[in-house]
Amino acid sequence: MGGRIATVKEGAVGWIVFDHLERRNAVTVGMWRAIPAAVRELSGDPAVRVIVLRGAGEAAFVSGADISEFEQSRTGDALTEYEADSERAFAAVESCEKPVLSMIHGFCVGGGLAIALTTDIRYAADDATFAIPAARLGVGYPVSGVRALLRTVGPASAKEIFFTARRFDAHEALTRGLVSEVKPKAGLEAFVRDAAGRIAENAPLTLRSIKLAVRELGKPSDARDDAAVNASVAACFASEDYREGVSAFLGKRKPEFRGR
């Protein structure tokens, strides 16, 4: 089957590329299964400080799951395995300790939007198109995907997106809080590279601690791991990077953080 997940390392920035040009980067079963390994590869490389998800070519970020596989992969006994593969992919991105960004252009539909919602920050080109067409296909939508959209846009907006299954543009996505910035398509990559570079310059332990705290604070109070959050805060103050940050500030120089 066509389609692949590629990883590219450029200094402190690691890229995960959805490459299935003939189907607008629609995600195949093989691609779902490859996502966790791609995340592990970049997450496990200490030189990589930030991960960016993007689509290959000019037409799409990800146009959804590959519908041509549905009769084989999303029916009968195969459905349970398919859902497990996609859930593992979502969980791998969402649980990554490093900051994960989405660079969205063209189609960001269905499973593509679900993937984007697992990332920490989403930047879009002005040609981006969003939709969740599950109701037009008659498929059940995973609870994790509903939860991700709900916490991002709120219940009324989430229901409107699901109920109507309509497409909407990048500027509407911005007003709904789905994306943080909208840029002209020609300038999006440069903007994302600059944003990723600036994030990568910051203290990795602090970024990890903040990401953990935000994740835990999004849970009900009785389900939060406050001890893990407090331990991550303490680790920051005990780190070499903390001493380096204070020294650099007092010396009016740029800090050189090492993640330890």
Question: What is the predicted pLDDT for the residue at 59?
Answer: 94
Beta-sheet strands, E only, within 127-215: 129-131, 168-169, 181-183
Q: What's the full length of the chain, in residues?
A: 260
pTM of the model as a whole: 0.93
Question: What is the predicted pLDDT for the residue at 141?
Answer: 86
- Looking at the DSSP bridge assignments, the partners of residue 129 are 107, 169
pLDDT digits (tens, 9 = 90+) for 43-94: 999 999 999 999 999 999 999 888 887 666 656 677 778 889 999 999 999 9
First-residue to last-residue Cα distance in the chain: 42
Question: What is the predicted pLDDT for the residue at 37?
Answer: 98
Q: How confident is the model at residue 99 (pLDDT cuts 50, 70, 90)?
A: very high
∠ Cα 193 112 69 (to 5°): 135
C-alpha 214/C-alpha 13 separation (Å) is 22
pLDDT digits (tens, 9 = 90+) for 233-244: 999 999 999 999
Question: What is the predicted pLDDT for the residue at 158?
Answer: 96
C-alpha 193/C-alpha 183 separation (Å) is 13
Q: How confident is the model at residue 16 (pLDDT cuts 50, 70, 90)?
A: very high
pLDDT digits (tens, 9 = 90+) for 179-219: 999 999 999 999 999 999 999 999 999 999 999 999 999 88
Q: Percentage of the chain with pLDDT > 70? A: 97
Q: Percentage of the chain with pLDDT > 90? A: 86
Q: Would you say the C-alpha torsion 40, 41, 47, 53 has a positive or negative sign? A: negative
Alpha carbon 19 to its chain's center: 16
C-alpha 100/C-alpha 54 separation (Å) is 11
